Amino acid sequence: MRFKKTYITAALTALLSIPALAQVPAPAPKQSKPILLKGATLHVGNGQIIENAAVGFDNGKITYAGPQNTANLGSYEVVDVTGQHIYPGLIHPNSTLGLNEVESVRATIDWREVGDFNPNVRSIIAYNTDSDIIPTVRTNGVLMTQLTPVGGTISGSSSIVHLDAWNWEDAVMKADEGIHLNWPNMLIQMGNSTDEERLKRMAESREETLTELTKLMRDAAVYKSGKHDNENLKLASMAGLFDGSKKLYIHADYGKEIIESINFAKQHGVKDIVIVGGGDAIAVADFLKANNISIIYSGVHALPTRAGEDVDMPYKTPYLLHKAGIPFALDYNTSIHGIRNLPFIAGTAAAYGLDKEQALAAVTLNAAKILGVDKQVGSVEVGKDATIVVSAGDLLDMRTSNVTYAYIQGRNVDLNNKQKYLYEKFDNKYKAQQKAAPTTPTSMKN
C-alpha cells in the first residue's frame, strides 16, 4: 500500500509540474466590445474577394463585411491587419477529433460502441474539449468539425461543434444532425482465388447484414408513423431520416456500392442523403447529379484506386466534381492527426484545376451547406457567426499559411498549443547553445 501511495503521489507531482503553456489553452471569454478588422483582403467564402476590406463583429455576430472606406470605424475597436487575408473559419466534416486521443491507450478512445447497429449512439456526449490535438488544429484555421462515430454498420449520430469550449454543451452548434451508415462492402474476386469457402462465407455475411438493415429501416418507418406501444431508442433516433430533419451519411467508395446504397435509402423513404468517401464518385457522376446527392470527398491525398488510373486522379477529382455540378466538401477522413492539413488539401485541389476560391468554398461554405449550418457559418457575411480566420499569407498554401488571429463566435481564440510550446522550448535551447559556444579565431581557421 505504501508503494502504491508513493507511486500515485509521484505521478501527480509529475503532472502538476508540466508548464502551463504545454496544456490546452482555456476557452476565450465572450466578446465584450465591437471589433473591426481592417486593411486585409477578404475571401468571403462564396467566391467573392474584396481588396482592402473591413470585417466588423459584435456579440459574436458579423455586423459589417465590405470595403474599408465605407465602414463606420468610430463604433469599433480597430485591429489593423493590413496586408493579411481574412477567411471564414474552416469546417472539417467526418472527424473523430475529441473522440480519440491516443490510439494505443484504450481509455482515450471513444469513437465507437459495441455492436453493429447503433443509430441511437450520440457522439456529442463523448466529445472531449480538453483534447491536446484541438489547439493544433485551430492553429491552421480549422475552427469547426463534425464529430463522427465509426465502426459497425450503423455507427450512430454525428454533431457539429466549434473548437473552443469548456464542455460539449458549450461546443455544440447542431446536435445529432445525421446518422452514419457504413455500407457493406461488395465482394470483388481478384484473380483465380482458391478460397471459395471464404468468399462464400463473406457473401452470406453481407446478405445477413443487408437483411437486418432492411428490417431496421422498415421498423423505423413504422415507428415514425406512430404505430408502436413501447419506446424504442434505436427506432426513435432514426425518425428524422424520413422527414428530412436528419441526414443519412452513407460511407461508400466503390461505384456500384454508391449506387446500391442510394437506391436502398430512397426505397425506404430517406429524404436527405450524403455520400462520404466517394472514391468512385466521378464514375457515377450522372447518377449522383440525377439524384441530387452531395459528396464529402475523402481522397485528395490518397493513391489512385485502380492500377490503370491517372496518378493525379485523386488530386483532380474535386475539379471534376465541380465540373459535373455535384455539390461537394473535402475532408481528411477520420485521421485526427491529419485534420490540421485540411487547408492544404484544398490547396492541392486548387493546384489541380479548381479555382482558389472554389477550393476555399469546399472547406467552408460548401461544407456548411452539406452539414446544414450555412445560415450560421461558412462565409463572412452580415448576420452570421463571427467565426473567422486571419492569415498573414495564403491560408491554403503550406508555404505561406500563418494564422495570426482566429475568432469563434467573436471570441479571440488562443492560438498556442503543445507543439508550438515544444518548438519554442528547443529552439531557445539551441540558440542559447550557439550563443555560448566559443568562437574560433580567424588565424586558427587559416
Query: Residue 2: what pLDDT?
Result: 42
- Above 70 in pLDDT, residue 398? yes
Half-sphere exposure at residue 207, Cβ-oriented, CA atoms within 13 angstroms: 6
Query: Residue 334: what pLDDT?
Result: 61
The CATH 2.30.40.10 portion of the chain extends over: 15-89+378-446
The CATH 3.20.20.140 portion of the chain extends over: 90-377
- Above 90 in pLDDT, residue 309? no
Q: Residue 208 contacts by C-beta under 8 Å, 6 or more apart in sequence? A: none
Among 126-140, 200-214, 241-255, 429-443, the range scoring the smallest mean pLDDT is: 429-443
Q: Tell me which CATH homologous superfamily contains domain 15-89+378-446.
A: Urease, subunit C, domain 1 (2.30.40.10)
Query: Residue 399: what pLDDT?
Result: 94
- Above 80 in pLDDT, residue 335? no
**CA-CA distance, 221 to 380, in Å (whole number)?**
39
Q: Convert the pLDDT of each residue in 64-120 to its tens digit.
A: 999 998 888 788 999 999 999 999 999 999 999 988 876 666 666 776 788 899 999
Decide: 140 and 128 in contact? Cβ < 8 Å: no
**CA-CA distance, 386 to 408, in Å (whole number)?**
6
- Kindly report the average pLDDT of the chain as a whole number: 88
With 0.95 as the threshold, say if the pTM is over it.
no
Across 313-327, average pLDDT = 95
Give the confidence band of 243 by pLDDT, cuts at 50, 70, 90: very high
Q: Convert the pLDDT of each residue in 182-212 to its tens digit.
A: 999 887 655 555 577 778 888 888 899 999 9
| Record: fold of 90-377 | TIM Barrel (3.20.20)
Task: For strands 85-88 and 35-43, give the pairing.
Answer: parallel
Task: For strands 247-252 and 273-277, give the pairing.
Answer: parallel
Query: Residue 194: what pLDDT?
Result: 58
Across 349-362, average pLDDT = 96
Give the H/E segment covering residue 375. none
228/266: higher pLDDT: 266
Q: Convert the pLDDT of each residue in 151-185 to its tens digit.
A: 899 999 999 999 999 999 999 999 999 999 999 98
The residues with which 88 forms a beta bridge, in sequence order, are 388
Query: Residue 261: what pLDDT?
Result: 96
Percent over 70 (pLDDT), the chain:
89
- Above 50 in pLDDT, residue 4? no
**CA-CA distance, 164 to 416, in Å (whole number)?**
12
Q: Residue 44 contacts by C-beta under 8 Å, 6 or more apart in sequence? A: 50, 65, 88, 379, 380, 381
- Above 70 in pLDDT, residue 15? no
Decide: 302 and 314 in contact? Cβ < 8 Å: yes
Give the confidence band of 19 by pLDDT, cuts at 50, 70, 90: very low
Total length of the chain? 446
Decide: 133 and 145 in contact? Cβ < 8 Å: no
- Above 70 in pLDDT, residue 262? yes
Q: Convert the pLDDT of each residue in 46-62 to its tens digit.
A: 999 999 999 999 999 99
Query: Residue 11: what pLDDT?
Result: 40
Helix segments in 106-195, DSSP class H = 133-138, 168-171
